[in-house]
Amino acid sequence: MDNLLDLPRAEAEQRLARFMHEAGEPAYRARQVADRLWRNPTASFADMTELPVALRERLGATFSLPRLALDTRQRSSDGTEKFLFRLDDGEGIETVAIPEQNRLTLCISSQAGCALQCAFCATGAMGFARNLRPFEIAGQVREMLLLGIRPTNIVFMGMGEPLMNWQAVDVALSLLNDPGALGIGARHITVSTVGVLPGIQALAARPEQFRLALSIHAPTDALRQQLMPINTKYPLADVIEAAKSFVRRVTFEYVLLGGVNDSPAQAEHLAALARKCGAFVNLIPLHPGGALGFTPSSAKATAAFAGTIRKRGVEVAIRKSRGVDISAACGQLRVERLGRRSPRGAEQDRDVHVA
């Protein structure tokens, strides 16, 4: 059966239009069904009660509307919620909903696991399984809507490296942004990457104003190489050049590791990098659940690090740590429930779709 949720909205509606024509149904039925895929989703064709019963049955026999099975749902005392979804093949992916005043940011996954093995990341420690399909990426938002949760902002900062799954992420971005699908403004959608250069170029080529966040985490190649093995393929200088050529303003994501990357000299280096490409710096406290042997920087060291960057004329913010009382570190809940795999290096990933 054709999976309508793996297609851009316009293509799905075209297939529905052909189906309705062949079935002798009015043309407007295609738009009716298309609106129920994403904009006002239903769990199944059977729930589209505005359609005749016979038509619902024929749709169900021809097309599929696959769901992501909710395995675990946790709620933090600060309102953060974490969801573990089980996929058809038994893999698990995580989604996190973070409320903040009038915003609700949804952190979504693009891969089951991750091949990059960043030293401080629980997802990297679990190993890599596979890329997610478009319906599994955008479907995390669809499942929120079915639960009565309506996100205002989307960040690709969950499990996986989105720009190593560009073919699916490209379609998912369209589904997220299309007013006829999920209808989330492009400026409210951020793609976070370690610096996969072909993917950055592909994202930059799109006309929408999607945001780009770069996972920097170290201001020198020597240290970044230790923390992020992918630095061998995409060195820091090349990542900064890509940021300079990206039309929209970029954000530097920087996880602070006590005694590792939080010294005043490192703050100076990071500020210099940010100044080269006009980047905003987002400092991230290390979540205890994702520590993997590292220690979070102290509040004093964090404030001093931010102050040094600010004095160099670079805009900086310290992200508030959320979900500390639940398994909110990226990949932590998935590891707790489904276990680890043997780590695999990025160069061993045979299922990478860059651009």
Judge whether residue 282 has pLDDT over 80. Answer: yes
Rounded percentage of the chain residues whose pLDDT exceeds 70: 90
Per DSSP, 5 falls in state G
Q: Which fold has domain 2-64?
A: DNA polymerase; domain 1 (1.10.150)
90 dihedral zone (left: phi>0; alpha: psi -120 to 50; beta): left
94: annotated active-site residue = yes
User: 87-139, pLDDT tens digit by residue?
Assistant: 999 999 999 999 999 999 999 999 999 999 898 888 877 889 999 999 999 99
* Catalytic member of 107, 114, 121, 330: 330
More confident residue, 330 or 161: 161
* Type and span of the H or E element at 70: strand 69-75
* Catalytic member of 13, 25, 81, 94: 94
Judge whether residue 320 has pLDDT over 50. Answer: yes
User: 238-271, pLDDT tens digit by residue?
Assistant: 999 999 989 899 999 999 999 999 999 999 999 9
User: 44-91, pLDDT tens digit by residue?
Assistant: 999 999 999 999 999 999 999 999 999 999 999 989 999 999 999 999
Write the CA distances from 273 to 232, 244, 279, integer angstroms.
Answer: 18, 10, 8
Distance CA 32, CA 35 (A): 5
Domains in the chain: boundaries: 2-64, 74-345
Model pLDDT, residue 339: 55
118: annotated active-site residue = no
At the top level of CATH, the class of 74-345 is alpha beta
Closest CA to 108 of 30, 187, 162: 162
Model pLDDT, residue 345: 45
Alpha-carbon torsion, ordered 164, 165, 170, 172, to 10 deg:
-130
For strands 280-285 and 250-256, give the pairing.
parallel
